[in-house]
């Protein structure tokens, strides 16, 4: 691929990601999208569960396997190194598009907060989760995370510089604020159906497993710096009273 081709490919992958990001807000929140996480069932419970769990497993495997250094080393023999991250973003987006299209609502309301301040507060918390998620991506270099920095540097003839090991803002309080955003999004549901609960439980389990693999890679990449950071900074639950004492840098980027 030419430099222009790789750059345009990276921009296209980012555009697909943006569309998926916006669609996910409505899909999970239950508004303004043709398909929804919640809804009336159209298949028997066993079939619906099998389909939904298969979709979640497909996304989890793609998201984890393609993020591993060993896979990247092999994969860049096939795709240009500058396009590796964009390809990862595109594959993740396509896995989510499949989930949006083929997800099977199950029905069965577990709780539903009535109209009023309580429901408004939960919807506000849901919106906050998305804002936190987006804010965190910029803390850790949004454009590197989604492949634009790589294709731009390749296009301009400059070598790629990976994100440095540091602790910007929220990373001084917890090691994974990005995942906190996702957890808020998954669980801040004014109406919780069986399908939504399955989605929330499985994605939460995936996050907790993914953190272990991700931190293993970070230790391999940054050695004792990350070991010390992990020792001094909580994973997901902040210890605000000790935030000032947490000065060890963190890489920040979640791959």
Q: What CATH code is carried by the domain that includes residue 175?
A: 1.20.120
Is residue 120 in some structural domain? yes
What is the dihedral sign for C-alpha 201, 30, 93, 156?
Answer: negative
Is residue 96 in some structural domain? yes
Is residue 246 in some structural domain? no
Query: Could you report the per-residue pLDDT of 207-250, keeping only the tens digit for each?
Result: 999 999 999 988 888 888 899 999 999 999 887 665 444 443 33
Please answer whether residues 80 and 72 qualify as being in contact, where contact means their C-beta atoms are separated by less than 8 angstroms. no
User: What is the Cα–Cα distance from 125 to 33, expressed in whole angstroms?
Assistant: 20
- Per the structure, the count of domains in the chain is 1
Is residue 37 in some structural domain? yes
Is residue 86 in some structural domain? yes
Is residue 254 in some structural domain? no
Query: Could you report the per-residue pLDDT of 39-69, keeping only the tens digit for each?
Result: 889 899 999 999 999 999 999 999 999 988 8
**Alpha-carbon distances of 191 from 48, 53, 244, rounded to whole Å:** 19, 21, 38
User: What is the Cα–Cα distance from 165 to 229, expressed in whole angstroms?
Assistant: 10
- Output the pTM of the full model: 0.88
Instruction: Give me the domain span that covers residue 153.
Output: 3-239
Q: What is the mean pLDDT of the chain?
A: 90
User: What is the Cα–Cα distance from 208 to 29, expressed in whole angstroms?
Assistant: 22
User: What is the Cα–Cα distance from 198 to 121, expressed in whole angstroms?
Assistant: 23
């Amino acid at each position: 691929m030419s430099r222009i081709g790789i750059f345009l490919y990276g921009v296209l992958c980012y555009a697909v990601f943006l569309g998926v990001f916006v669609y996910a807000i409505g899909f999970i929140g239950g508004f303004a999208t043709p398909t929804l996480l919640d809804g009336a069932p159209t298949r028997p419970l066993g079939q619906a569960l099998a389909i939904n769990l298969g979709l979640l497993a497909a996304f989890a495997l793609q998201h984890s396997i393609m993020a591993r250094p060993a896979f990247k080393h092999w994969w860049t023999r096939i795709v240009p190194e500058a396009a590796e991250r964009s390809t990862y973003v595109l594959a993740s987006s396509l896995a989510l598009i499949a989930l949006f299209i083929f997800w099977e609502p199950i029905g069965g309301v577990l709780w539903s907060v009535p109209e009023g301040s309580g429901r408004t507060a939960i919807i506000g918390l849901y919106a906050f989760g998305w804002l936190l998620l987006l804010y965190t991506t910029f803390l850790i270099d949004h454009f590197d995370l989604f492949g634009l920095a790589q294709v731009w540097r390749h296009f301009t003839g400059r070598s790629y510089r990976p994100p440095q090991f540091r602790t910007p803002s929220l990373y001084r309080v917890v090691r994974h604020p990005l995942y906190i955003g996702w957890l808020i999004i998954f669980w801040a549901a004014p109406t919780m159906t069986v399908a939504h609960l399955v989605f929330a439980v499985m994605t939460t389990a995936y996050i907790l497993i993914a953190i272990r693999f991700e931190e293993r890679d970070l230790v391999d990449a940054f050695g004792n710096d990350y070991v010390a950071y992990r020792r001094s900074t909580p994973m997901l639950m902040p210890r605000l009273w000790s935030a000032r004492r947490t000065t060890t840098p963190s890489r920040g980027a979640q791959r």
